[in-house]
Structure 1
Amino acid sequence: MQKITIEIEKAATIFKLFGDKTRLTMMKILDKHDCCVCELVEIFKTSQPAISQHLRKLRDLGLVKEERRGQWIFYSINKRNEYYPFIQQILEQLPSQDDKLKELEEQGTRISCC
């Protein structure tokens, strides 16, 4: 495994963002799946503005990227971010969150906006 060095300030910023359970879970989901805001609203049972605020914080640091598909915006982890190898090591320690998306599929609400 390649040794990763990251500045203390940047690591502290990432850990602060990841200190929020919603953002940490969001990052784990987005590491494997593209999601739109409406799906994340369903998963976390919270408001669209709250989800958008979490995504903005992650996007401002370049940890997530957005892609417009028609009128919808999908989010995913920015694997080209210089800190992704550091983040990936954290996310690999977390349990899969695929069950949350599977639940949406079973309810028929996966990608309901599209």
Structure 2
Amino acid sequence: MDMLVDIADDLKLLGDKTRLTMLSLLKEREWCVCEFVEIFDISQPAISQHLRKMKAQNLVKENKRGQWVHYSLDVDNKPHIQAVLDQMPDSRTILTNLNKELIITECK
């Protein structure tokens, strides 16, 4: 029964469009909090809150570099999440739909 609860909790997180989009972007590379702020046009604390929830559920892992935190996908042991992400568009398509250019910046 614990496994069902864990899967349900994981899928609840994907019910939020911003978190689902973040995880979809993370399929291809790691992203910095500063990049997500620019992409989603929401505050850094709001982005960090989304990422905190996903980290608590072991969907992402973080790597601190100076003052910035970079996130990467961590769903190797979660095939149900990987199955959903396999159906999601690539980052170029996502960014085009958000009217954003493909950004690869070094946060400073």
In structure 2, the residue matched to 1:19 is 15
**Distance (Å, rounded) in 2 between the aligned partners of 1:19 and 1:93:** 15
Determine which of 18, 30, 33 is the counterpart of 1:34: 30
TM-score, reference length from structure 2 = 0.83
Query: What CA distance in whole angstroms lies between the structure 2 residues aligned with 1:12 and 1:112?
Result: 35
Q: Residue 62 of structure 2 contacts residue 72 of structure 2 at CA under 8 Å; is this kept in 1? A: yes
Which residue identity is paired with 2:72? S
Structure 2, unmatched stretches of 5+, are none
Runs of 4+ in 1 over 4 A off after TM superposition: none
The alpha-carbon deviation at position 104 of structure 1 amounts to 4.2
Q: Any unmatched runs of 5+ in structure 1?
A: 1-5
Q: RMSD value over aligned CA atoms?
A: 2.1
Aligned pairs (5 A) from 1:1-114: 7-80=3-76, 82-83=77-78, 85-99=79-93, 100=95, 103-105=101-103, 110-114=104-108
Q: Aligned partner of 1:13: which letter?
A: D
Partner AA of 2:101 in structure 1: E
Amino acid at match of 1:53: Q
> Percent identical across equivalent pairs?
50
CA distance in 2, matches of 1:98, 1:64: 21
TM-score (normalised: structure 1): 0.79
After superposition, the Cα gap between the structure-2 partners of 1:51 and 1:89, relative to the gap in structure 1 and judged at 3 Å, is: same
What does the per-residue CA deviation read over 1:34-88, in whole Å, with 9 as the maximum and x for residues that have no partner?
A: 11101000111110000000000000111100112233211001144x22x2211
Would you say the 8 A contact 1:38–1:113 is kept in 2?
yes
Give secondary structure in 2 for the equivalent of 1:74. strand
Secondary structure at 1:13's aligned position in 2? helix
Deviation at 1:8, TM superposition (A): 1.6
Contact 2:59–2:74 at 8 Å: present in 1 too? yes
